[in-house]
Amino acid sequence: MAERPRPPPFDRWAALVLLSLAMFGNYYVYDTIAPVADLLTSQLGFNDEQIGLLYSTYSWAAVLVLIGGGIVIDRFGTRRSILLFGAITTVAGILTAVSSDFRVMAAGRFLLGVGAEPLIVAVTTAIAKWFKGKELSFAFGLNLTIARLGSVAADNSPSWARSYYGSWQPPLQIGAVLGASCLVAGVLYWVLEARVARRYSLGAAGGTDKLVLRDLFAYGKSYWYVVALCLAFYSAIFPFRSFAIKFFMDARGVSRETAGALNSVLPLAAMFATPLFGLLADRIGHRALLMAIGSATLIPVYLLMVYSGVPLWLVIAFMGVAFSLIPAVMWPSVAYLVPEGRLGTAYSVMTLVQQVGLAGMNWLIGATNDAAHAGAANPAGYRPGMWIFTALGFLGLAFSFLLYRTERGPSGHGLELVR
C-alpha cells in the first residue's frame, strides 16, 4: 500500500490559523481582569487580595492539570482535546462575566486554568503534526505571535472598547465573546482534520510533556538554577502585569487607555524581540551571561516607577528587554542541560514551578497592597509590592550568576558556547 502524501500547504496553513485563533481567545480571556481591576474595586468592593486570587486560582488549576501530564491529549488525540478544552475555556469566560459574586468569578478563573493550559499543550502538539519537517519553527513562532495578540488586544481594550468601560461587566462580556473563538476554532479544526486525515498523512506529533518523578534525580545543578531563575523571573513579571493597569492609574495618574497601552508593551515587544534574541544567542553563545544581563535589566524598573519621575514608557521598555531576552534564552537552554529522553519531565517541572510561583505571588502582591492601603488616595502603598518584585529580580540575578559560574567550569554543558 502506497504511503499517503502529506497535506498540501493550504490545508496546513488553514490548520495553523484555526489553532492560533483558539490560542488568541485563550490569551484574551486570561488578560481581561487587569483592565477592570479598579472597577471591580470601586463597583463590587473587591480588594487587591481578591483580584490577585482571580489569577492565583487559574494557576492552581494549571498545576493540577500539569500533574496530569497530557494523559487526555495522548488518549483522545488532538482533535477531540482541542474541542474539549476549547469548550471549557469558552465556558470559563462566560462564567467569569455572568455574576458579581466573587466565588462565581473565581470558579470561572479556576475553570479557565483547567481548560487553557491543556489547550496550549494540545495546540502545540497539533502544530507539530502538521508541520514536522516543514517550516515547524516558523509555524510555532507565528502561532505564538497570534496568541500574544490576544494579550495585546485585552490590554488595549480600554481604547478600542472605551464606551464599554463604564461598568465592570461589559469588558468581561467582550472577553467571553472573543473567548468563544476557542470553541468555534475547535469545531472548525475538527472538521478540517477529519477531512484531511481521510486523504493525507499527518506527521507524528510525538508525546506530550509528562511529569516523571524518577527523572528529577538525574538533573544537575545547572538545570535547577534555570528552574529557580524561571520561578523568580515569571513571579516578578506576570503578577506585576496583573495589577499594572490599576497601579499606573492610581500611582502615576495616567488614563485607563494609556495604562492599558503601557501594559501591552511587554507582550508586543516579546512578539518581535524574542526571536531576535534567540538568533543572537545562537550566533554568539553566552546564554547564561545573557540571562544574567536580562535579570540585571529587570532589577531597577520597579523602584524607578514608585520613587522617580522617569517616564513610564522608558521604564516599561527596559522591562520589555528582560521579558524578551530571558525567555528567548532560558527555555531553549534546557535542551543543553537535560537528555532528550527527559525533556518532557524537565519542561513540565519548569512550568509547574512557574505556576506555583504565580499562584503564590499574585495573592501575596494583592494582600501586600491591601495591607499598605495602596490606591489612588495612597500611591505610596504600592511601594512594598514593588520592593518584593525588586527582591525577585535580585534572586533571578543570583541564580543566573550561579548558572554562569557553573557553565564556565568543568561541569558546564555548553551554554556559553556558540553551538
Burial class (CB in 10 A: 0-12, 13-18, 19+), 191: exposed
- 8 Å CB contact between 262 and 316: yes
- Spell 198-233 as b/e; 16+ CB within 10 A means b: eeeebeebeebbbbeeebeeebeebbbbbbbbbbbb
- 8 Å CB contact between 114 and 65: yes
Which amino acid belongs to residue 408?
R
Identify the three-state secondary structure at position 21: helix
pLDDT beyond 90 at 32: yes
Fold classification of 7-208 is Growth Hormone; Chain: A; (1.20.1250)
- 8 Å CB contact between 47 and 370: yes
pTM equals 0.89
Is the model more confident about 254 or about 216? 254
Distances (CA, A) of 33 to 105, 155, 225, 285: 10, 10, 32, 39
Distances (CA, A) of 175 to 44, 97, 200, 201, 300: 19, 8, 36, 36, 34
Q: What are phi and psi of 8, to 5 degrees?
A: -70, 165
Consecutive H or E run containing 400: helix 383-407
Who's near 35: CB < 8 A, 6+ residues apart? 154, 155, 157, 158, 165, 171, 245, 256, 260
Residue 362, C-alpha cell as written in the block: 499574585
**Rounded to an integer, what distance in angstroms lies between the CA atom of residue 292 and that of residue 92?**
38
Same fold, 7-208 and 211-419: yes
Cα 232 to chain centroid distance, Å, stands at 14
Instruction: Report pLDDT digits (tens) over 348-364.
Output: 788 889 999 999 999 99
- 8 Å CB contact between 372 and 384: yes
**Rounded to an integer, what distance in angstroms lies between the CA atom of residue 341 and that of residue 406?**
23
pLDDT beyond 80 at 207: no
Most confident range, picked from 10-14, 170-174, 336-340, 411-415? 170-174
Average pLDDT over residues 98-116: 96
Is the model more confident about 210 or about 398? 398
Bridge partners of 104, per DSSP, are: none
pLDDT at 3: 63
Domain chopping of the chain, boundaries: 7-208, 211-419
- 8 Å CB contact between 386 and 302: yes
* DSSP label at residue 36: G
pLDDT beyond 70 at 211: no
Q: Poorest-confidence range of 21-25, 82-86, 207-211? A: 207-211
Domain 211-419 class, CATH top level: mainly alpha
Helix residue ranges per DSSP H, 198-311: 221-252, 256-263, 265-284, 287-298, 301-307
